[in-house]
């Protein structure tokens, strides 16, 4: 649920970003009717059974954009990340590094943009109860190690923030502050942070 809120706290796309996203979505055939220009950061959450091709792009004949390109300038969310195939996860490393993917097919070679914010969610073990306060996990240590090792070091090296999320109790939800902040409140804070960062980097090529 938190991951689904991420595009909502991102600032609206700039005109240039909007054109890029619209072009990719148009090629992918997912531009909603009556919406000639995508203005909000896209959100793409492929299922863990997704093939490498549907993740990075491909297909027979004319190459089609994959999830990494459909999430360009937006959020790519992989729920149950360790359940994705190792090949599919490894294929994310190139776009994460370069911001684009190159797909070669018989009909030609295309280069598609793929600059996205990657969010991964993972259980601590196959049963999901191996947490600090959680009880009842009976997964053997070797199974837990193997499960966690499915997210390779080189992929995790590209992850900047790791947050452990403990199970939420009923009293947490009902108690004071249980409702948390609204998306709009957080979006305003993100906007302010981005404005400050832009000012700080204004005389550098960075963004
Ligand atoms: Zn377990």
Q: What is the DSSP string of 27-69?
A: HTT-PPTT--S--SPPEE---TT--HHHHHEE-SSS-EE-HHH
Give the pLDDT score at 132: 64
Kind and range of the H or E run holding 180: none
Tell me, what's the pLDDT at 131? 73
Q: Which residues have a beta carbon within 5 Å of ligand 1, which is an ion?
A: 125, 127, 130, 137, 139
Please give the pLDDT value at position 146.
92
What is the reported pLDDT for 175?
73
Quick count: other Cβ atoms within 10 Å of Cβ 13?
20
Q: Which domains does the chain have, with CATH numbers?
A: 2-123+152-167+179-200 (3.40.50)
pLDDT of residue 134: 58
143 alpha carbon – ligand 1 mean position (Å) = 9
Instruction: Please tell me the distance from the alpha carbon of residue 56 to that of residue 47, in angstroms, as a whole number.
Output: 14
Q: How far is the CA of 91 from the centre of ligand 1 (A)?
A: 28
pLDDT, residue 9, reads 94
Cα(86) to centroid(ligand 1), Å: 21
Asked whether the beta carbons of 133 and 166 are under 8 A apart, the reply is yes
In this structure, the strands spanning 108-113 and 100-105 are antiparallel
Query: Digits of tens for pLDDT over the chain (207 positions)?
Result: 889 999 999 988 999 999 999 999 999 988 988 888 999 999 999 999 998 889 999 877 778 899 999 999 999 999 999 999 999 999 999 999 999 999 888 878 889 999 999 999 998 888 888 876 657 888 999 999 999 899 988 899 999 999 988 777 788 777 766 677 889 999 999 999 999 999 999 999 877
């Amino acid at each position: 649920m938190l991951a689904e809120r991420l595009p909502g706290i991102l600032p609206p796309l700039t005109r240039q970003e909007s054109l890029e996203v619209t072009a990719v979505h148009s090629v992918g055939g997912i531009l909603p009717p009556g919406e000639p220009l995508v203005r909000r950061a896209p959100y793409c959450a492929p299922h863990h059974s997704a093939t490498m091709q549907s993740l990075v792009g491909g297909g027979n004949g004319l190459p089609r954009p994959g999830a990494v390109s459909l999430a360009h300038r937006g959020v790519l969310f992989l729920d149950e990340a360790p359940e994705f195939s190792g090949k599919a996860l490894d294929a994310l490393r190139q776009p994460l590094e370069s911001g684009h993917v190159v797909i070669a097919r018989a009909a030609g070679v295309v280069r598609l943009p793929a600059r996205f914010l990657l969010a991964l969610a993972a259980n601590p073990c196959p049963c999901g109860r191996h947490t600090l306060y959680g009880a009842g996990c009976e997964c053997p240590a070797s199974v837990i190690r193997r499960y966690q090792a499915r997210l390779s070091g080189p992929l995790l090296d590209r992850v900047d923030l790791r947050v452990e999320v403990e199970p939420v109790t009923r009293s947490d939800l009902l108690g004071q502050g249980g409702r948390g902040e609204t998306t709009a409140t957080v979006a305003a804070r993100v906007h302010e942070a981005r404005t400050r960062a832009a000012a700080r980097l204004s005389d550098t090529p960075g963004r």
